[in-house]
Structures are given as structure tokens and as C-alpha cells.
Chains A and B, each alone.
Chain A
């Protein structure tokens, strides 16, 4: 039972354009969502997060949008840079500062120069 889904295995974008990565979830108990970026041979690194009480969080070039009614969140990267090329994971947790994250399967973003 995949509670967090990233339906696009890959995405290719031109440098300077917007990248939009999508994530859907099924468990309405989730109250915190995070995006991680992962380069080959490295562990995931935290990018940005959002609480379920908000619908938007912005940090520099990165913005996460949450649509609770649709159980959908998206990560926008503007402008995209070649260094953004990586696998992006959406993750969710519930119950406050709980003990585990539930990850999606990831989206490989390729930013073309």
C-alpha cells in the first residue's frame, strides 16, 4: 500500500524554466510533508517542508504547495539550474515529531543547460 506516490519517474526541464514535481498521498492523518534531494552516492538532503495547516511554503527558488482536499503537493523550482539535477523524494509523517517518514518513489529531475 503506497501511501505516498510520485507518479512521474522522471522530468526534463530547460535551464531557467520552472520545474514542477508532484506528489499524491492517501493518508489524511499526515500532518507534515518534506521534500528531499538525492545525488548519486549521497544520502538524501532536506530541501523544504510544509505543515498541513499551511498551503504554501517558500524558500528561495523552492516553493511547496499543499492541496489537502486533493491530497496533493507539489514542489516548484524557479529558475531551474543544472545543479538541481537529482532525484527528488516527497515524504510524509504524522503525529507531530514522530519517528518515521514515509517516502514516495522519487522523481529524477534533469535540468538541461
Chain B
């Protein structure tokens, strides 16, 4: 049973560019949440998607946007990249009825902005 799959695992972007990160949830999960983990910090909640809509959003600027597809997979888009966007981006999936109690995390995408 595949868990949460994230792609790519690593990428390097230049300031001002745009990036798209992808997440395939665990089989049977319908909700996807995205977290940003900066170096030396704990993961911070970006937003969550359910039924192809953003349900809740953390304290992140509008440069961060997302999408959920009918197959429950999700994308995280970041526009106008800043050096401070360099971080590990984690995707967590769950069933909506379980919420955070049933989180499964992916291994993350390491984004480096130069």
C-alpha cells in the first residue's frame, strides 16, 4: 500500500521564479494538507484541501496557492520565489472524518531558492 508520494524530491529555483510541487495522497484518503518546514523549525501549516476546495489556510501570503484534483492529488504553487521560501515542503493526507488524527506525511520536497 503506497503511502503519500511527493514529487520532485529536490529542486533548485531562482528568485522570482514559480514552482509547482505535487502530492499523491495515501490510498483511501481524501484530504491533503501542506506544511512548510524551514531549517531548524517545526512544520508550519500552509493550507488544506478537501473536495477540491481550500478549507483552511495558515499565515502564508497569496503567493502560495494550491489545487486539488478529482483523484484527490494536490499541487502547491509558489509564485515570485524569495530566498526565504527555501524549505522542506511536506504533504500530509488523511480522511476528512479523521482530520489530524489520521495524518500520513510524505517524505517532502526540498526546495532551494538561489
Q: Which residues of B contact A103 (CB under 8 A)?
A: 35, 42-44
Q: Which residues of A contact B48 (CB under 8 A)?
A: 99-100
State A36–B99 Cα separation when bound (angstroms): 16
CB pair A89–B100 under 8 Å, yes or no, is no
Stretch at the interface among A41-49, A59-67, A69-77: A41-49
CB pair B43–A32 under 8 Å, yes or no, is no
Question: In the complex, what's the smallest C-beta–C-beta distance from A3 to chain B, in angstroms?
Answer: 11
A window 69-113: CB within 8 A of B: 89, 91, 93, 96-106
Q: Which residues of A contact B25 (CB under 8 A)?
A: none
- Contact string against A for B residues 94-114, beta-carbon threshold 8 Å, 1 for contact and 0 otherwise: 000111110101111000000
State A105–B40 Cα separation when bound (angstroms): 7
A-B contact count (CB 8 A): 64
Given A44-B90, A99-B55, A100-B56, residue A106 in contact with residue B42 (CB < 8 A): yes
How many residues on B have C-beta within 8 angstroms of the other chain's C-beta atoms? 25
A window 1-24: CB within 8 A of B: 4, 6
Contact of B43 among A46, A89, A93, A98 (CB under 8 A): A89
Contact of B100 among A45, A97, A106 (CB under 8 A): A97
Chain B interfacial positions (CB closer than 8 Å to A): 4, 33, 35, 40-45, 48, 55-56, 58, 90, 92, 97-101, 103, 105-108
26 contacts between A and B (CB under 8 A): A4-B42, A6-B42, A41-B107, A43-B90, A43-B105, A43-B108, A49-B101, A89-B43, A91-B42, A91-B100, A93-B99, A97-B98, A97-B100, A99-B45, A99-B56, A100-B45, A100-B48, A100-B58, A100-B100, A101-B100, A103-B35, A103-B42, A103-B43, A103-B44, A105-B40, A105-B41
